[in-house]
């Protein structure tokens, strides 16, 4: 098997001097493997690395859709911003939704 324990460590190292190459490869994998994307995003949410709005954006869902899905799966919800950066990210997501809605009207 190609992927060994050391593979991820080496990807992190390679990313230090070839970030675009590694990022493109990971983006490709996550685009092709929706289950892996879901697990990565939910894990980041659970670790409080991202908020619900950002998780929804990364998964291509509306925030309320993701909130319902989390509730059905028993994933604890963290509602409301706890930092200024989170508040800005949520505002950007809202503006993005409104812009998307305007494009479809």
DSSP 4-71: -HHHHHHHHHHHHH-HHHHHHHHHHHHHH-HHHHHHHHHHHHHTTSS-HHHHHHHHT--HHHHHHHHH
Establish if 20 belongs to a structural domain. yes
CA separation for the pair 41, 51 (Å, rounded): 10
Across 70-81, average pLDDT: 86
Establish if 2 belongs to a structural domain. no
What would the two tokens of residue 99 be?
């812009």
Amino acid 43: pLDDT: 96
What would the two tokens of residue 39 be?
């697990």
Establish if 4 belongs to a structural domain. no
* Segments forming the whole domain that contains residue 73: 11-104
Q: What DSSP line would sit under 51-63, residue for residue? A: -HHHHHHHHT--H
The structure tokens 């291509």 sit at: 60
Domain count, the chain: 1
Establish if 22 belongs to a structural domain. yes
Q: Which of 35-44, 53-62, 93-102 has the lowest mean pLDDT?
A: 93-102
pTM more than 0.85: no
Establish if 3 belongs to a structural domain. no
Amino acid 86: pLDDT: 76
Radius of gyration of the chain (CA): 16
Establish if 56 belongs to a structural domain. yes
Establish if 88 belongs to a structural domain. yes
Establish if 31 belongs to a structural domain. yes
What pLDDT digit, counting tens, does each position of 41-67 carry? 999 999 999 989 999 999 999 999 999
């Amino acid at each position: 098997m190609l992927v060994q324990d050391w593979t991820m460590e080496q990807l992190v190292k390679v990313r230090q001097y070839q970030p675009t190459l590694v990022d493109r490869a990971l983006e490709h994998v996550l685009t092709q493997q929706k289950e892996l994307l879901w697990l990565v995003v939910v894990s980041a949410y659970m670790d409080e690395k991202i908020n619900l709005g950002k998780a929804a954006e990364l998964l291509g869902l509306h925030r309320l859709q993701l909130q319902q899905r989390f509730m059905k799966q028993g994933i604890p919800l963290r509602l409301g911003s706890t930092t200024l950066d989170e508040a800005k990210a949520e505002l950007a997501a809202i503006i993005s939704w409104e812009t998307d809605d305007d494009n479809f009207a």
